[in-house]
Amino acid sequence: MQIAISQLNFHIGNFESNKQKIIDSINKAKLEGAELIIFSELSISGYPPRDFLEFDDFIEKCNTAIKQVAEHCMDIAAIVGGPRKNPNNKGKRLYNSAFFLNEGKVQHLTNKTLLPTYDIFDEYRYFEPNTDFEIIEYKGKKIALTICEDLWNVDDVPMYSVNPMDELMKYKPEIMINIAASPFHYKQAEIRKEVLRKNAQKYKLPIYYVNHVGAQTELLFDGGSLAMNSKGEIVEELRYFDEDFCIINSETIETKTSNIQISQSKIALIHDALVMGIRNYFNKLGFKKAILGLSGGIDSAVTLVLAVEALGKENVEVILLPSQYSSDHSVKDAEDLAVNLGIKQNIIPIKNIYGSFESELEPFFKGLEFNIAEENLQARIRGVLLMAFSNKFGHILLNTSNKSEAAVGYGTLYGDMNGGLAVIGDVYKTEVFELAEYMNKDSEIIPWNTITKPPSAELRPDQKDSDSLPDYDILDTILFEYIENRKGPSEIIAMGYEKHTVDRILRMVNLNEHKRYQTAPILRISSKAFGMGRRIPIVAKYLS
């Protein structure tokens, strides 16, 4: 049997677009001789639809679109993901289903069994888990059809008490098909391949796996759909971060020569994911142009290069907002970068505006020393000016804060934390430096002085980040152990870090939760990003 894998970039709630993409792909598959085509999890609605699933109208539109797709399934079958109502009078009102379409109608329904609720997932909020197991027989083949998490219960210490494939093996299937929406982080592709490999080897069956691709606000999906033989060897791997399509003959999958994508470094993966995230955020919202404040520092420089790659130089504009504390070299670095990229730049010195605020506040601040109030005032002036441009010209302001700063609160609410999208908010400062060097691998795009000079917010004379924070090599390692690895203070101290430093950093992380609740969506590239996947109380005493 000729099986097509169609890896598409769907748009949540855009039923007409999603439906047409699926129909176009079905027609392409028919022309190329495919007998079955598979699409990703919840493909008809887009993933994750979240509380849209609570609207009957949303579910009805999904069902209508599925029926319209089915009309095009003549002389070919398709597996399409979508939500559907639970016909029983108990349990959750919906199933996360795979619709098997053939001869113009829905011929079979498979419901998802394992509903993840960890990290960014909250599927049990909406869906009833499947309890009935049966295979699909088509073109003389017995198919074990599963949905994403259903194949992930293969660890030595399983998370779930049920294993769908164990149940389906009772019916002696000949192939496994898994439709998925597996979100990206820079280690996920290798983890995912190992999970699929374990399934293929355990059940001694080939696997056809289709993954979602594209960005849905902060969630990024990397694609990488594949076909794997029963020995766990990848024989076909689709592109990453882009739509793709292939057809595999089930009769020759065991002997087919492998066609594997070239593996990328961690930083290359992060780079490509962020470019896709920016591009999809703008395209799916219907915006074209971005604006950001360019300081001459590394964070805004990296954000700018990513934005230009995603949107084109004609769609990105920068404003330089130097104060009396900005160094001449920082301004020149910013100007040089804008010239290197060929983008429009404007400069608005904030010294006089800041002086006006100082004058108005002088009666109230008289006799008090310069402190964080004056520093934040400069950041907020910049934020006001950037938002004025955003409002006047309809540009989306890109936030340039990194994960290290977001973690410890090294940023100003309603100032440099402004923005419609936080591009590098899940990228540690040390990784920002690696990204900058990666961007300069072929030629100098970001001025080397931007990369090599000591980081500084330049909000007071001779200020450096190291005045307020530990060195980033130490800070980022401790943050990673606490945030990604969920290690407590005693465990981190046992790794050789000073107790005072560890306690101080962890306290800053927890005390600044209120800031992170008010930030723009952060593009997720790690296994534990700030945002929907990390739920920490604001009014809590733990470590604060």
Is residue 398 one of the residues assigned to a domain? yes
Q: What percent of the chain is modeled with pLDDT above 90?
A: 92
Is residue 431 one of the residues assigned to a domain? yes
Of 263, 278, 311, which residue is a domain's last?
A: 263
Largest Cα separation within the chain, whole Å, is: 87
Q: Give residue-wise pLDDT tens across range 384-414.
A: 999 999 999 999 999 999 999 999 999 999 9
Q: Are residues 147 and 31 in the same domain?
A: yes
Q: Are residues 93 and 160 in the same domain?
A: yes
Is residue 530 one of the residues assigned to a domain? no
Q: What percent of the chain is modeled with pLDDT above 70?
A: 99
Is residue 202 one of the residues assigned to a domain? yes
Count the neighbouring beta carbons within 10 Å of the beta carbon of residue 137: 13
Tell whether the model's pLDDT for residue 457 goes beyond 70. no
Q: Are residues 279 and 162 in the same domain?
A: no
Q: Are residues 251 and 307 in the same domain?
A: no
Tell whether the model's pLDDT for residue 162 goes beyond 90. yes
State the first-to-last Cα distance of the chain, in angstroms, to the nearest integer.
Answer: 60
Of 422, 444, 465, which residue is a domain's last?
A: 465
Please, which contacts does 446-452 make with residues 24 or more away whose CB atoms are closer than 8 Å? 446/298, 446/301, 446/302, 446/305, 446/337, 446/340, 447/301, 447/333, 447/336, 447/337, 447/340, 449/329, 449/333, 450/296, 450/297, 450/298, 450/301, 450/333, 450/337, 451/298
Q: Are 45 and 90 in contact (CB under 8 A)?
A: no
Tell whether the model's pLDDT for residue 232 goes beyond 70. yes
Catalytic residues: 41, 112, 148
> What's the rounded mean pLDDT across residues 501-520?
96
Q: Are residues 282 and 247 in the same domain?
A: no
- Determine the residue type at 299: D
Q: Are residues 237 and 348 in the same domain?
A: no
Nearest to residue 225, comparing CAs of 70, 75, 37?
A: 37
Is residue 195 one of the residues assigned to a domain? yes
CATH code, domain with 323: 3.40.50.620
Question: What gap in Å lies between CA 75 and CA 102, rounded to an integer?
Answer: 8
Q: Are residues 258 and 299 in the same domain?
A: no
Is residue 525 one of the residues assigned to a domain? no
Give all strands (DSSP E) within 428-530, no chain letters.
Answer: none
Tell whether the model's pLDDT for residue 155 goes beyond 90. no
**Bridge partners for 138 per DSSP:** 141
* Residue found by looking up tokens 């520092």 in the block: 297
Sorting pLDDT into bands at 50, 70 and 90, what band is 135?
very high
Q: Are residues 273 and 314 in the same domain?
A: yes
Is residue 528 one of the residues assigned to a domain? no
By DSSP bridging, strand 2-7 and strand 244-249 are antiparallel
> What's the rounded mean pLDDT across residues 476-499?
98
* Residue found by looking up tokens 């290690």 in the block: 487
Question: What gap in Å lies between CA 40 and CA 383, rounded to an integer?
Answer: 40
Tally of domains within the chain: 2
Mean pLDDT of the chain: 96
Question: What gap in Å lies between CA 225 and CA 5, rounded to an integer?
Answer: 8
Tell whether the model's pLDDT for residue 247 goes beyond 80. yes
Nearest to residue 526, comparing CAs of 489, 486, 472?
A: 486
- Of the CA atoms within 13 Å of residue 244, those in its CB half-sphere come to 20
Is residue 502 one of the residues assigned to a domain? no
pLDDT of res. 261: 84
Q: Are residues 215 and 84 in the same domain?
A: yes
Backbone angles phi, psi at 318, to 5 degrees: -125, 155
Please indicate, yes or no, whether the overall pTM of this predicted structure exceeds 0.85.
Answer: yes
> What's the rounded mean pLDDT across residues 90-111?
97
> What's the rounded mean pLDDT across residues 324-333?
84
pLDDT of res. 260: 87
Tell whether the model's pLDDT for residue 465 goes beyond 80. no
pLDDT of res. 460: 67
Comparison of pLDDT for 326 and 341, the residue scoring more: 341
Between the alpha carbon of residue 116 and those of residues 96, 149, 151, 349, the distances in Å are: 12, 7, 12, 50
Range of the domain at 367: 269-465
> What's the rounded mean pLDDT across residues 156-163?
91
Nearest to residue 221, comparing CAs of 164, 263, 179?
A: 179
Q: Give residue-wise pLDDT tens across range 436-456.
A: 999 999 999 999 999 998 877
Of 210, 238, 263, which residue is a domain's last?
A: 263
- Determine the residue type at 374: E
Contacts of 191 (CB under 8 A, 6+ apart): none
